[in-house]
Structure 1
Amino acid sequence: MSSPQNPNPRSAEPSGSFSRRAFTTAAGATAATAAVGLSAGPASAAPAAAPQKPEAREKPFRAARGKHSRRPNILFILGDDLGWADLSSYGAPHIETPHLDRLGRQGVRFTDAYSGSATCSPTRFSLYTGRYPGRTKGGLAEPIADRSVGLEPTHPTLASLLRGTGYATALIGKWHCGYLPDYSPTKSGWDEFFGNFGGALEYYSKLGLGGEYDLYEGDAEYKDLRYYTRILTERASEYVQRDHDKPWLLNLNFTTPHWPWIADGDTEESAEVVRKIKSGNVAALFHNDGGSVEKYKEMVEDLDRSVGKVLDALKKSGQEEDTLVFFASDNGGERFSYQWPLSGNKSSLQEGGIRVPALLRWPARIDAGQVSDLPVFSPDWTATLLEIAGARPAPAYPLDGTSLGGYLLRGEQVAERELFWRVRGERAVRRGDWKYYRGKTGGDQLFNLREDQREQANRAAEEPQLLAELRAFWERTNAELLPYPA
């Protein structure tokens, strides 16, 4: 088992500075410059060397391999309720994830990556829009549980903006940003949709939280009673192997390892959950009477194999070199997740609720074997992908994320900034190594995450000025957002 001082025992990257390769886009150099301008404040000087801990060591810088004009395909993969340390490369002592570990070794593994919120749909809002969830009515639901709200089709999204620059767009898997007839991926910029609308479903029957059938192709029901992760893996593999005549964006949103705790082959447990749902037990899908650490391990390892199959299909298609692949979780882990050394879990703004594994690979442009401890969160990836694709954000909908294109591809430093979170009853801000946090019990707390990832040593009394600054930033930002409904 990993020790508290070394939560990532499998890390073995050499030390040095972050490495990236030269990047230009024939179609988007001007737009890329505009997107970089989304960063708050002037460019900072190079930061001091980080303390030498295994998860922060980076590969020596290598010279750029030349310019490149092709815009990449984008394969953006989300796990569901996967905890920060649930991958073996992040320290899980009992879960083996060789395919995801290899993905990280082939590019960049981020140790300080965060979701845009602490639950499913607000994070998806932040990713699809590049903005804080609280800027939209649908993003106030934590998470969406009824048909009254969703991602408004008039709001620009990552998909609609990329489609406007010539990308083909598809979403396969969990949507969770609103229900038909008003909300759908096909109304928000995705050319194709295959998956479920709600926050969870039983893996075989496809029954959702309201007992309704929830598997769709486009906006029409699609019948397939096989194990859901298998279906999504097949669909995604088929998509990446098509003979595409334009660059493409595929959002692949697995429901694994979200409850119910049903692995491939658990047909008897599936039938029991379905029986309870059909008898009127609407809470049966939460599976409070099921699951185990071993079952969770089985589901995470199945997710790993499934991602591996999609990546194999991508390689066979001949598009691997020019495809940017990103993998993360939509929020922190749940009941059976391995979170050490973090405190808290899903729904909380403690580290365990919002810090997530994040892996990025782009063979044509980014060197392999790197680790970054730069604090980043979901809206940053929206800004980054728009820059790389040469797409401009909509002026009326300014992004809250910062493009990391310069950091990843041109050797630029990211100016110190604040990452902001708000959920009902909790608040948080991260600036550099410091985190301001107030939980549901009240009382402002301040933690140095470099020294105290577990958020146990409250430094508020020793750093009153810093605490006041971060609290003031949170208050100013919160004042710009929509209030929660009473």
Structure 2
Amino acid sequence: MNVARRQVLAAGALSLLPGIASAREMGGEKRQPNIVFILADDLGYADLSCFGRRDYVTPYCDRLAAAGARLTHSYANSPVCSATRLGLMTARYQYRLDAGLEEPIGPRDTGLPPDEPTLPSLLRQAGYRTALIGKWHLGNLPNYGPLKSGYDYFWGYRGGGIDYLRHEDARGEGLWENGHEIEEDGYLTRLLGQRATQFVDAQRSSDAPFFLSLHFSAPHWPWETPDDRAEAERLTTDPSYRKLAHFDGGNMATYAEMVRRMDEQVGAVVAAVGALPKDRETIIVFSSDNGGERFSDVWPFTGRKTELLEGGIRVPTIVHWPGVFDGGRVVDTPHMTMDLSAMLAAAGGARFPQDRLPDGRDLRAGGFDELPMFWRYNHLDQKAVRLGRHKYLSIAGNEFLFDVIADPMERANLKARMPELFNDLRTRWERWNAAMLPYRDDTFTHGFRGDELADHFGVE
């Protein structure tokens, strides 16, 4: 980042969130904080300018980072969406649930069980008002849904992806408000931002804290800007849309506009939070559900969504929490999505049942460098564990040991030079995996093929 950019970000940070007071500034008895969790969909590690994107600027996320903290070793629970969302909701490894075996949830009727303790349900028990604006993708009615899993209010869509202008998914479903399908005109990213700001505004006169999940569709395909009505018509009327996944569309300019539009709505929500009464602090978290897709920038990593290479699971995370994560800090603590959930649950005074204790750990605690993080992904039999600076990785039976600090592109295989560490990490993974649910024969798993993406030539 050049000097001019630094000066702009520093100036923006000084005026950001003037209405959000820290606990020190509020004085008196500390109150439960409001919590806003903003989740992008398929956003790559370097897709925000504060994380390195060079061909466009995301000023609102940049200012949030300059006033809060950038978490540079933040990992998604999975390289695909619904699996990570299970980790976010439960603060546990998604592989403990049947729905977590789906990568992502597809045609099989499975989802987040209504009786499973979740971050919103536990916060609601602790006195919070809860809302989900945006993507659900954790199971369909009548068996599953946001209102069954802890949210008081839902406005958004239920599947994995939806058209930004016609608001139709591959099954023909559209937008929902609570339990009813609705119709509304407009570009989806803007609609989600508007609903989120309306929810925040409505809390001004409330004595209760709130938990808002704002789960954007952007920048997930289809690749559309507000001006792409013709493309939206083509996609939603073409019979091949159900399987196309927009492999014949999109470009860098469209992707940049999609991310910029999302960034604008982040700014609108942050401004609404800043206008709240100053007697309660607000924690804001921004992250992504997995690594980047076709037009993403994942530098300095390799890999993408559906892969356990760093580019498929390392995500850009920002936390703004006055007195805790503030001042433009850079936090290099290795952690996963479920650790963010555990931290927010603790901040809100939520309590997990003894038979559903979280795998995630409050980020404010120490010792994360000594805690291993585990992943698996059924496509190509992928396995990974990171401990400290080292990572064991197995893809299609090919095994590696990387130093992801010195070698973020995962090029130098150290398994022959460090056999004891290699064997130790592999053994740790096997022991952990034995405690998870096994994959079933009918489990769905997605991975890009050589006939879909040229840089996957030879991959079946």
The answer to whether the superposition gives a TM-score over 0.5 is yes
What secondary structure, in the 3-state scheme, does the structure 2 residue paired with 1:283 have?
Answer: helix
For residue 250 of structure 1, what is the amino acid of its counterpart?
A: L
Q: Residue 379 of structure 1 contacts residue 402 of structure 1 at CA under 8 Å; is this kept in 2? A: yes
C-alpha displacement of 1:322: 0.7
**Residue 281 and residue 330 in structure 1: after superposition, are their counterparts in 2 closer, same or farther (change >3 A)?**
closer
Aligned 1:186-265 pairs, distance under 5 A: 186-210=147-171, 212-242=172-202, 243-265=205-227
Of 343-352 and 86-95, the range deviating more from structure 2: 86-95
Aligned 1:50-89 pairs, distance under 5 A: 69-89=30-50
**Aligned equivalent of 2:104, options 122, 140, 143:** 143
C-alpha displacement of 1:366: 3.8
Provide TM-score, normalisation by structure 2: 0.88
What secondary structure, in the 3-state scheme, does the structure 2 residue paired with 1:446 have?
Answer: strand
Partner of 1:269 in structure 2? 231
**Residue 474 and residue 449 in structure 1: after superposition, are their counterparts in 2 closer, same or farther (change >3 A)?**
same
Provide TM-score, normalisation by structure 1: 0.83
Structure 2 gaps of 5+ residues are 11-22, 442-460
Aligned 1:66-465 pairs, distance under 5 A: 69-210=30-171, 212-242=172-202, 243-276=205-238, 279=239, 281-284=241-244, 286-318=245-277, 322-363=281-322, 365-406=324-365, 412-414=366-368, 416-424=370-378, 425-440=381-396, 442-465=397-420
C-alpha displacement of 1:460: 0.6
**Residue 370 and residue 385 in structure 1: after superposition, are their counterparts in 2 closer, same or farther (change >3 A)?**
same
Q: Distance in 1 between matches of 2:217 and 2:139?
A: 16
Q: Distance in 1 between matches of 2:279 and 2:163?
A: 33
C-alpha displacement of 1:271: 1.3
Q: Distance in 2 between matches of 1:466 and 1:9?
A: 40
Considering fraction of residues, name the structure with more helix: 2
Of 126-135 and 311-320, the range deviating more from structure 2: 311-320
Q: Distance in 1 between matches of 2:141 and 2:323?
A: 39
Partner of 2:450 in structure 1? none
Partner of 2:447 in structure 1? none
Q: Residue 322 of structure 1 contacts residue 364 of structure 1 at CA under 8 Å; is this kept in 2? A: no
C-alpha displacement of 1:364: 5.2
For residue 423 of structure 1, what is the amino acid of its counterpart?
A: Y
**Residue 310 and residue 357 in structure 1: after superposition, are their counterparts in 2 closer, same or farther (change >3 A)?**
same
Q: Residue 199 of structure 1 contacts residue 209 of structure 1 at CA under 8 Å; is this kept in 2? A: no
Q: Residue 70 of structure 2 contacts residue 331 of structure 2 at CA under 8 Å; is this kept in 1? A: yes
C-alpha displacement of 1:68: 5.7
For residue 93 of structure 1, what is the amino acid of its counterpart?
A: R
What secondary structure, in the 3-state scheme, does the structure 1 residue paired with 2:376 have?
Answer: strand
Q: Residue 77 of structure 2 contacts residue 83 of structure 2 at CA under 8 Å; is this kept in 1? A: yes
Q: How many residues align?
A: 423
**Residue 323 and residue 281 in structure 1: after superposition, are their counterparts in 2 closer, same or farther (change >3 A)?**
closer
C-alpha displacement of 1:319: 5.4
Q: Distance in 2 between matches of 1:216 and 1:181?
A: 14
State the Cα RMSD in Å.
2.3
Of 221-230 and 452-461, the range deviating more from structure 2: 221-230
C-alpha displacement of 1:398: 2.1
**Residue 165 and residue 297 in structure 1: after superposition, are their counterparts in 2 closer, same or farther (change >3 A)?**
same
For residue 132 of structure 1, what is the amino acid of its counterpart?
A: Y
C-alpha displacement of 1:443: 2.1
What secondary structure, in the 3-state scheme, does the structure 2 residue paired with 1:356 have?
Answer: coil
Q: Residue 26 of structure 2 contacts residue 278 of structure 2 at CA under 8 Å; is this kept in 1? A: no
Q: Distance in 1 between matches of 2:193 and 2:376?
A: 33
